[in-house]
Amino acid sequence: MGGAVRLRVEVEGEPLAPGAAVSGRVVVEDGGRARSLSVRLAFVERTADFEKAARDVDTQVLAEGDLAEGTVVAFQLRLPEDALPQVATAHARIGWEVRARVDRAGPDPTVDQPVDLLQGYTAPDRERWPSG
């Protein structure tokens, strides 16, 4: 049980609207020693050699203690009302991600899952973009 922990994150119901719940589950594919398992929802800037969470909006501790192989833990986080959609190019991606993290002695295993948002006009205040 002291080996590497491996996780998979599954997100349901994409694409999502700003303000929507981000529901899903973390699947423990390979179990091991752990202090805790948590998930975080953040707006992340990512390139091949750079990663920065520009905005963290929600974090949950899902489990405490060692993780058994095959464990499935549900989560629900919430996107902010002003959540921007993702932008992806050949060299970079900016968008929302769920990160699952195992806190343990040594390096903490993590896995990131992008969250797809509806594309297009989402501003609730139509006066921001007057037509004509």
Question: What pLDDT score was predicted for residue 132?
Answer: 46
Domain 6-114 fold: Immunoglobulin-like (2.60.40)
Q: What are phi and psi of 128, to 5 degrees?
A: -65, -30
Domain ranges of the chain: 6-114
The residue among 125, 93, 118 whose CA lies nearest residue 19 is 118
Dist. CA 6–CA 41, nearest whole Å: 19
pLDDT digit of tens for each residue in the chain (132 aa)?
557 899 999 999 999 999 999 999 999 999 999 999 999 999 999 999 999 999 999 999 999 999 999 999 999 999 999 999 899 999 999 999 999 999 999 999 999 999 999 976 445 554 454 554
Cβ–Cβ < 8 Å for 79, 96: yes
Cβ–Cβ < 8 Å for 14, 56: no
